[in-house]
A and B are shown apart, each in its own frame.
Chain A
Amino acid sequence: MDIKDIIKPENLVYKKTDLMTDKILSYCPGCGHGTAHRILMEVIDEMGIQSETIGIAPVGCSVLAYDFMNVDMSGAAHGRAPALATGIKRLWPDKFVFTYQGDGDLAAIGSAETIHACNRGENITIVFINNGIYGMTGGQMAPTTLEGMKTSTSPYGRDLQTMGNPLKMTELVAQLPGTWYVTRQSVHTPRNVRRAKKAIRIALEAQKEKKGLTFVEIVSNCNSGWKMTPVKANEWMEENMFPFYPLGDLKVEGKLVNNQ
């Protein structure tokens, strides 16, 4: 049997969405960015809104997201993606506009743009990849870095006294009246991937109703920055990141979920 005999439409069980380009991903093997890209593009594909979608890439490891995502996109300056998205959405209120941002981008340098876009209730979707570290620049401390966590700029571990506390940006934006849907997900197991994808769908669908800003955090790994194998990184994430950044919805249809 030749390989051509196997690759037939009727045998197809899974196909890469056309909304991911054929460019080779620049991410480290095992990194969550690739999966997050894929499910975001799958949702846009399934909703049939490619021609209505405008995305904003950040500065961070996903700076080249526009090379991988087959939708019209703009690359923002570090942290400014929500401002770009605001400018676009105000002029194109019927388009679907999303930003894709890391934790340095969104929670440090772009914290003002994030909070104000959320507070104004811009009808955009923010996908927030929280890996607790600056991946792109070589593993420096991020606002989200956990207590005691070692990074290249906290080589003895994050000291809360001198370096401040890890910032729960998602909890913070959930408090703002402009946010409609706020959730925290992960993409490290097939089950979590399915849930995260569902969350992205809810977030993008809400743009149709112009209900306000939708915010999907994805707690992710940075095996290179954390200096771990991909498998170990996922274990470490479950043991350390999830207790501090618990998965689940924080705000649904404009209402805070129980203990938030």
Chain B
Amino acid sequence: MKELRLMKGNEAIAEGAIRAGCDAYFGYPITPQSEVMEYLMAEQPEKRTGMIVLQAESEVASINMVYGAAGTGKRVMTSSSSPGISLMQEGISYCAGAELPCLIVNVVRGGPGLGTIQPSQADYFQSTKGGGHGDYRLIVLAPASVQEMFDFVFTGFDLAFKYRNPALILSDGLIGQMMEKVHLAEQRPRLTEFDPSWTITGKTPDREHNIITSLDLDAARQEKHNQKLQAKYQKITENEVRYEELMTEDAEYLFVAYGSSARICQKAMQLAREQGIKVGLLRPITLWPFPVKPIAHLAPKMKGILSVEQSAGQMVEDVRLAVACATPVEHYGRMGGMVPSPEEVLNVLVNKFISK
């Protein structure tokens, strides 16, 4: 039987890291995700699994420690919140360019700038469109529960290694701070074998020296490398879309929402159905690759689609692209750390689509 525990979202990330057989965590404190490293330091995973935890001097150093260690084929990760993730963007771009598997967790807070420490989902563009310089994508997972915070550490590492690409868990202050019960998976062993075709573990006589780099000054070769990356992203798009549909069979209206907004929409959906309004919910679990086909498939059956996100309207752009004008799409969101209530969301749905 699985172990059951009451945990904070951020703690679930940390426990998930240990149990997923993570080799090292490098991080720098920032609210609302500091519990990740605090939990790890208290837990002393070095004694449990041999996992290393190091508090770096900055997020710039953290991501570059990740970059260095990932090049040796180990399972490594970092976590932060919005301003810290902005600081990491150069390093993340390097990881993507050099095709290094690693896991990054962003427990999003309100911005721009120092913003606020309350929850937000305004880092959607940064997460799903690249974030740093150059043409690249991260595999982006959006947990909507503390259980998923735990589970997605495993999924994130697995996808990162499957495609040799950084994966990002895009959470928010609400999911990070709230407590729920979590079924804890069994301890998975740390990695002991490293792919000799690319990892830098010391050149042995049976192979050429391995080099981890994103640099190629020859433009034609650099373009080829870019094409290879794009082909990989295409493959990920075809194979790794994850989403959840709730009550869409008979729905006339659809919420599209992820993370904490999906939880709020779930409640709004219940309230709507109590009033006889048939609402469904599509929850993207991978924000990249985005569930384009499922949304396109549902769109013609709907009288209206409301994209709900704690932002000025970022994901709604992808929803609109998927819907391709098949039905009206609107956005509703609060900003700067404000969290909408289910009643508020339902009112918006009614006002925008039903009692116009």
Say yes or no: A87 contacts B201, CB within 8 Å.
no
Say yes or no: A54 contacts B200, CB within 8 Å.
yes
Given B202, B210, B212, which contacts A53 in the complex, CB threshold below 8 Å? B202
A201 located at the interface, meaning its Cβ lies under 8 Å from any Cβ of chain B in the complex: no
A113: chain B residues within 8 A (beta carbon): 57, 60-61, 64
Say yes or no: B61 contacts A77, CB within 8 Å.
no
B64: chain A residues within 8 A (beta carbon): 76-77, 80, 83-84, 87, 113
A50: chain B residues within 8 A (beta carbon): 202-203
CA distance A86 to B69 in the complex (A): 8
CA distance A75 to B205 in the complex (A): 22
Say yes or no: A112 contacts B58, CB within 8 Å.
yes
Given A54, A56, A85, which contacts B202 in the complex, CB threshold below 8 Å? A54
A-B contact count (CB 8 A): 128
A80: chain B residues within 8 A (beta carbon): 60-61, 64, 67, 91
Could you tell me the distance in whole angstroms from the C-beta of B29 to the nearest C-beta in chain A?
A: 15
A33 located at the interface, meaning its Cβ lies under 8 Å from any Cβ of chain B in the complex: no
B67: chain A residues within 8 A (beta carbon): 74, 76-77, 80, 83-84, 87
Could you tell me the distance in whole angstroms from the C-beta of B208 to the nearest C-beta in chain A?
A: 9
A75 and B213 contact, Cβ closer than 8 Å, known pairs A51-B202, A80-B60: yes
Say yes or no: B211 contacts A87, CB within 8 Å.
no
A90 located at the interface, meaning its Cβ lies under 8 Å from any Cβ of chain B in the complex: yes
Say yes or no: A74 contacts B60, CB within 8 Å.
no
A253 located at the interface, meaning its Cβ lies under 8 Å from any Cβ of chain B in the complex: no
Say yes or no: B200 contacts A73, CB within 8 Å.
yes
A66 and B211 contact, Cβ closer than 8 Å, known pairs A84-B64, A91-B72, A112-B58: yes
In addition to A51-B203, A74-B200, A90-B54, 6 A-B residue pairs with Cβ atoms within 8 Å of each other are: A57-B213, A70-B203, A72-B210, A76-B68, A80-B64, A91-B72
Chosen A-B contacts, 25 in total, with CB atoms closer than 8 Å, are A21-B209, A53-B203, A63-B215, A71-B202, A71-B209, A72-B202, A72-B209, A74-B98, A75-B213, A75-B214, A75-B215, A77-B67, A77-B94, A83-B67, A86-B61, A87-B69, A88-B68, A90-B54, A90-B65, A91-B52, A91-B74, A95-B201, A112-B58, A112-B61, A116-B57
